[in-house]
C-alpha cells in the first residue's frame, strides 16, 4: 500500500479523504513509477455522495436551464485554459501520446459545447386543441441522481459523454473513474469546483467493484452510464436494471476494417496504422481485424508490415513518439499471451511486438505493433478483444464474404471499409450490423452531437452517450393534457 498521495473523493463540494482501508497504487505505465494511490471507497461513501446529490437536486432541477448552462460555459473556458496540463496528466497515467491526449480532451470539450444547447435540446413539444379547448404537451424533466463509471483508456473524455448533459438537464451526478487512471478526474473536478456549482451537483467517488456495486444497489441513484469491458458492462446492466435504474452500458469491441482492391493505397497507408496502433490499440474503436478482399491482400499486407515495424514506440510525453505503453504489466502479459495463442491457432506472426525493450524505459509496459496473418475466422484470436497494438489479417475473395464475416462477430462497435466505389460503400453501410461505420477512415469516432453508437455485445441499453441520445437518457418525458 502506498500512503504518500492517496487521492481524495469530492463529495458535497468538499475534497474528503476516504475512510477506505485499502488503496491501489497508480502507475505511470511508461516508467512503472508510482504517481498516486486510489482509495477503494466503501459503500458508505457512495451513500454520502448519493444523499448529497439528492439534496442538491431539489434546487438544481428548479434552476432555469439557461442558468445551468452558464456553469458549462465557464467549464469550457477553464478546460481550454488548462488544456495542456490535463493532456499531460492523461499521458502520465494512461501512457498515450500527448497528441492522443489532446485529441480525447478536445472531444470532451466538444461535449460541453453541445450540452450548452440544452435549453433548446431538452424542449418537448405540444399540440393545441387535441379536442375542443384541450391542449396536450410533452415536457422533459430530469431523472434524478445519475452516475457514470468509466474505463481506463480515455481518462478525460468518456465522463464527458454523460456529465455535461446530465447536469445541464437538471440532474445531479456521481463519477467513479477507473482506478488505473484517477488523476485526470482529480484535475477536472478541480475545475468543476472552480466554476462554483451548488453543493452536491457533481461528486467524485474513487474505487473499484465494491464502489460500483454500491452505486448499482443505491436506491437514490436513478440512472447509470457505464463504459468498460463487455463482461462487466453486461453484469452492470443486469444489476442496474434489476434495481430499477436506467442504464446505458458500453462494452468491448473487435473492429473489422475491410480493404477492397480499389481502395486508395496512400489513404489506407496513412490511416489504417493509426486505427490499429493509435493509443497502443487500447481504443474501443481500434481497427483490430483487417479483412482484405482479393488482390488487396498483397499491397495491404506490405503497407502494414512497414507501418508496424517502423512505428516509434516510447514515452508518450516525448514529441517524436508515435505509440506509448499499454496500461499495466498484466495487460502486457495478456497481450503477449494472446499473440502466442494466435500463433498456436495457426496465424503467422509477420511482425512480433513481444519482448519490447525501450532504451531508458526498462520498466515500462511496452508492446510494439504486431501483425498476425492468415487467421482462421473461427479461431479464438479472431474473436477475442486483445486491446493492444495487434492487427490480425484475414483474407477473403469477395465483399459479400467480408460483410458476412463482419456480421458473424459478436461485437458491433465499429467497422470500416476502404474503397473507391460508392456502390460498395453504400452496400457496406446498409448491410453491416455495426453501430459506428467508417468509409475510407479508420477510426469512425462520432462527434459530440452524434450518439456514440454500438451494437450487439458492444452495448447494453437503448440510448447512447453524447448529443440528443444523452438528453433523452438524462430526462424523463411527462405528457400533460390540459383543459382550462
Ligand atoms: P473494465 O471493465 O475492467 O473497467 C471499467 C470500469 O468498471 C472501471 O471503472 C472498473 O473499476 C469497473 N469494474 C471493473 N470490474 C468490475 C466488476 N467486476 N464489477 C463492477 N465494476 C467493475 O474496463 P477497462 O479495462 O477499464 O477498459 C477497457 C474496456 O473498455 C475495453 O473492453 C474497451 O473496449 C472498453 N471500452 C468501450 C468503449 C465503448 O464506447 N464501447 C469505450 C472505451 C472503452
∠ CA 106-437-378, rounded to 5°:
120
pLDDT at 2 > cutoff 50: no
CA-CA distance, 18 to 206, in Å (whole number)? 9
Q: Is the CB of 153 under 6 A from ligand 1?
A: yes
pLDDT more than 70, % of the chain: 99
* Atom number of ligand 1 nearest to Cα 149: 9
Confidence of residue 4 (pLDDT cuts 50, 70, 90): low
Check if the beta carbon of residue 174 is closer than 8 Å to that of residue 11.
Answer: no
Half-sphere exposure of 194 (CA within 13 A, CB side): 15
pLDDT at 445 > cutoff 80: yes
Q: What is the pLDDT of residues 14-34, one digit of tens each?
A: 999 999 999 999 999 999 999
The H or E element that residue 194 is part of is: helix 183-194
Q: How far is the CA of 150 from the centre of ligand 1 (A)?
A: 7
CA-CA distance, 193 to 299, in Å (whole number)? 53
- Catalytic residue set: 284
Q: Is the CB of 434 under 6 A from ligand 1?
A: no
Grid coordinates given for 145:
441522481
- End-to-end Cα distance, the chain: 67
Confidence of residue 359 (pLDDT cuts 50, 70, 90): very high
pLDDT at 47 > cutoff 50: yes
Q: What is the pLDDT of residues 198-250, one digit of tens each?
A: 999 999 999 999 999 999 999 999 999 999 999 999 999 999 999 999 999 99
> Taking the CB of residue 479, how many other CB atoms lie within 10 A of it?
10
- Output the CA torsion sign for 93, 95, 96, 99: positive
Secondary structure, 3-state, 307-358: HHHHCCECCCCCCCCCECCCCCHHHHHHHHHHHHHHHHCCCEEEECCCCCCC
Q: Is the CB of 252 under 6 A from ligand 1?
A: yes
Which residues are bridge partners to 174 per DSSP?
A: 147, 203
Nearest to 148 by CA among 48, 46, 226: 226
pLDDT at 1 > cutoff 60: no
* Atom number of ligand 1 nearest to Cα 152: 26
Q: Is the CB of 147 under 6 A from ligand 1?
A: no
Q: Cα dist. 24→21, 154, 203 in Å? A: 10, 19, 20
Ligand 1, atom 15, lies closest to the CA of: 209
Amino acid at each position: 500500500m502506498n500512503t504518500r498521495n492517496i487521492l481524495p473523493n469530492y463529495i458535497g463540494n468538499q475534497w474528503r479523504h476516504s475512510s477506505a482501508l485499502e488503496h491501489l497504487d497508480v502507475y505511470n505505465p511508461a516508467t512503472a513509477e508510482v504517481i498516486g494511490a486510489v482509495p477503494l471507497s466503501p459503500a458508505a461513501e457512495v451513500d454520502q455522495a448519493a444523499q448529497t446529490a439528492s439534496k442538491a437536486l431539489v434546487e438544481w432541477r428548479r434552476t432555469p436551464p439557461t442558468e445551468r448552462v452558464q456553469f458549462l460555459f465557464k467549464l469550457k473556458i477553464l478546460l481550454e485554459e488548462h488544456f495542456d496540463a490535463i493532456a499531460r496528466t492523461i499521458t502520465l497515467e494512461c501512457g498515450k501520446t500527448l497528441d492522443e491526449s489532446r485529441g480525447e480532451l478536445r472531444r470532451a470539450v466538444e461535449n460541453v459545447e453541445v450540452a450548452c444547447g440544452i435549453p433548446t435540446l431538452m424542449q418537448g413539444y405540444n399540440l393545441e386543441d387535441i379536442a375542443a379547448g384541450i391542449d396536450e404537451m410533452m415536457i422533459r424533466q430530469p431523472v434524478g441522481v445519475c452516475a457514470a463509471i468509466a474505463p481506463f483508456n480515455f481518462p478525460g473524455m468518456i465522463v464527458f459523454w454523460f456529465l455535461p448533459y446530465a447536469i445541464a438537464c437538471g440532474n445531479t451526478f456521481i463519477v467513479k473513474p477507473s482506478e488505473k487512471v484517477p488523476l485526470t478526474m482529480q484535475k477536472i473536478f478541480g475545475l468543476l469546483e472552480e466554476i462554483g456549482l451548488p453543493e452536491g451537483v457533481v461528486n467524485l467517488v474513487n474505487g473499484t467493484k465494491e464502489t460500483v456495486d454500491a452505486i448499482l444497489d443505491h436506491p437514490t441513484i436513478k440512472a447509470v452510464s457505464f463504459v468498460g469491458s463487455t463482461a462487466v458492462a453486461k453484469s452492470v446492466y443486469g444489476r442496474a436494471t434489476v434495481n430499477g435504474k436506467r442504464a446505458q452500458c458500453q462494452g468491448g469491441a473487435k473492429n473489422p476494417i475491410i480493404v477492397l482492391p480499389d481502395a486508395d493505397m496512400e489513404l489506407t497507408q496513412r490511416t489504417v496504422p493509426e486505427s490499429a496502433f493509435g493509443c497502443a490499440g487500447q481504443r474501443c474503436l481500434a481497427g483490430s481485424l483487417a479483412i482484405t478482399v482479393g488482390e488487396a491482400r498483397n499491397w495491404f499486407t506490405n503497407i502494414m508490415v512497414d507501418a508496424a515495424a517502423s512505428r516509434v514506440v516510447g514515452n508518450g510525453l516525448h514529441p517524436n513518439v508515435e505509440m506509448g505503453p499499454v496500461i499495466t504489466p498484466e495487460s502486457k502479459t495478456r497481450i503477449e499471451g494472446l499473440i502466442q495463442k494466435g500463433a498456436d491457432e495457426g496465424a503467422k506472426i509477420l511482425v512480433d511486438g513481444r519482448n519490447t525493450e525501450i532504451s531508458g524505459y526498462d520498466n515500462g509496459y511496452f508492446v510494439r505493433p504486431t501483425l498476425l496473418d492468415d487467421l482462421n475466422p473461427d479461431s479464438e484470436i479472431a474473436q477475442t478483444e486483445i486491446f493492444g497494438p495487434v492487427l490480425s489479417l484475414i483474407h477473403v475473395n469477395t465483399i459479400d464474404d467480408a460483410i458476412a464475416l463482419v456480421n458473424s462477430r459478436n461485437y458491433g462497435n465499429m467497422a470500416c471499409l476502404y474503397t473507391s466505389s460508392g456502390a460498395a460503400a453504400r452496400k457496406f453501410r446498409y448491410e453491416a450490423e455495426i453501430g459506428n461505420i467508417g468509409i475510407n477512415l479508420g477510426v469512425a469516432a462520432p462527434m459530440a452531437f452524434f450518439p456514440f453508437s454500438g451494437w450487439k455485445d458492444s452495448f447494453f441499453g437503448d440510448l447512447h452517450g453524447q448529443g440528443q441520445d444523452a438528453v433523452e437518457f438524462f430526462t424523463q418525458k411527462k405528457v400533460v393534457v390540459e383543459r382550462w
